[in-house]
Structure 1
Amino acid sequence: MTKAERIEALAESGQAIAKLLNQAEEGRDTAHHFEEVVNMAFYKNGWFDKENVHTMLKEIVASLDKGALKQWSSELPEENRTPKTIGVIMAGNVPMVGFQDLLSILITGNKAKVKLSSKDEVLIPFWFNILSEINNAFKNDVAFFENRIGEVDAMIATGSDNSSRYFEHYFGKYPNIIRKNRTSVAILTGDETEEELHELGRDIFTYFGLGCRNVSKIYVPKEYKLDAFFEGIIKWDKVADNKKYYNNYQYNRTVYLLNREQILDNNFVILKEEEALVSPIGVLFYERYGSLEELTQKLKAKEEHIQCIVGKNNTNFGNAQSPQLDDYADGIDVLSFISLL
């Protein structure tokens, strides 16, 4: 396939997913057993409820826009070269979290050996089946593995700080991208509107706070009244309807109370003053700052642990979970990495 043919098929797969989403949300019958797939994803992982799966699929539809794909891949050659085989180990913290890595491999005309997370083994094969039906030439470009993936030309592995040491040991002989833990933070100035704070809730609670682009800590001015923040996020109380989220929230609340720690609580999220970046599920850390200049320097020193900064003059409120195609995890340009193999 030429690059143009790959883009055409990828864009068409996005249109197919968009059609399925529209049919499902209108209560109409869907093709490809779509509703069964969504239900199976939730059955295998209780964090992947219908709303969050649909949210991720809508982001993927946006990524598969033909114009966006053309712009993103504009530096790639039109004609094929001898394809490389790239191994991908995907995480399972949010739905289809490894999608962009696979998309990067396919749009460059290469092949992928994919080890899916046991927590997310339904959705990406579902999309790939649709893509293969659109253009059968893709069919042999991706192989899914439950265990070892064997020999490859390069590796992309996403995991935790602990698993990264394992990845580096086993895959250090290959050109690689190995990702560790990251999280996101928000900076408030006190001038935010109620709507902006509501959108910040989207950055915090989408995917129940499990993704590296989820805000796990907010920085607020020294005199900031946290009541305004609580009022802005109140409509996100629906997260407590998820049993797994609510159990985590209740557990952390109980531990803090037993330890007589100072917390603020609105019955679905706990605010705790803390220097650490990564908060437990159902908890949001906060820290007060004196000046934006000092805070900028402080965050600069922590940049290898931060995926995204939300706030004015940074990522817009509500957009943390909507990265552009070239907004790469850890800031590593996956398309360039693959192209230079």
Structure 2
Amino acid sequence: MATIRPTDGTGSDDARQASPARAVRLPSMADVAALAGVSSQTVSRVVNARSNVDADTRDRVLAAMEDIGYRPNSAARALKSGKFSTIGVIMFTLSSFGNMRTLDAVATAAAQAGYSITLIPVALPTQGAVAGAVNRLAEQAVDGIVIIMEAHILDRIDVTVPTGLPVVIVDSDAGERYTVVDTDQTEGARLATQHLLDLGHKTVWHIAGPESSFSAGRRTASWRATLKAADAPVPPVLEGDWNAESGYRHGVTLAADPSVTAIFASNDQMALGVMRAMHEAGRSVPADVSVVGFDDMREADAFWPPLTTVHQDFGQVGRLCIEKLLRQIDSPAAVGPGTTIVPTHLVVRASTAPPPAR
């Protein structure tokens, strides 16, 4: 590959060695045009994938670009078009499985649409932190923003995004003012709880996610409503933190109570901790205690026993986020406020069974 460098005009090797180092000039569109024997306008049409260039000329231009190492100036093209092919993502928690799966889905859908991702994690879910992250993304020239909310804003009931940029929010109750995409947390928790009741369990204990979490709150509310609708006793909520350790800690307590026969954990990691606690206590899953999780992580069917859990379609969430955001980018009035719900469904495996005979 040839490299175009400036010379001092002397033609002398000694003179070049004695002269101070100079910056290497990157190949330009004019250089490509000169090598291919075409006009700069023709090179521009090839770079921008225009159709009004014959095949032989296009091949000659592409070969010249490859030969001298020319790369189109995407920044200049973005400034000219007003589009940067970049989407900003703000998220509060990088450690939870659901958030990481959502981020992966959003990034995959964005890449398929020809967009890159700029991620800004936010340590505390405050209004100022969100505003600061949005402003940073605006300075970095993004076309739109996806906010993976998950947590309640600490210093205000609702989030306010201080920008004119297109925005889609994941996992929030802000659908009256923003475009929101979420999975059906309520139905998923209802299915999990009702499945255990239908097996004959008198009640279902619940290990919830953190109180600050939107999704945990909806799952807990649905669990409670399902028990009440069935006239079943409602045990006290045990709050976890999405990690297996908190599931294990609560599982140790529940394993010591012989009346506990069914547990719904708010995610699969906590369910895994529960099953370990039951095993250590000598209580069999599912013969003595049935356990249901939420998320359907890839490893759920590799637990022992394989875990009954609620499946969330994170891929669909990511596709819908990017689809709605790109529609806003192309036509700001095309997508208004409102919440789109992606269905959840129960995957029944071997961790649930009827309660033991008394």
Q: Give the greater-gyration-radius structure (CA).
A: 2
TM-score tier by shorter-chain length is: 0.3 to 0.5
TM-score, scaled relative to structure 1: 0.33
TM-score, scaled relative to structure 2: 0.32
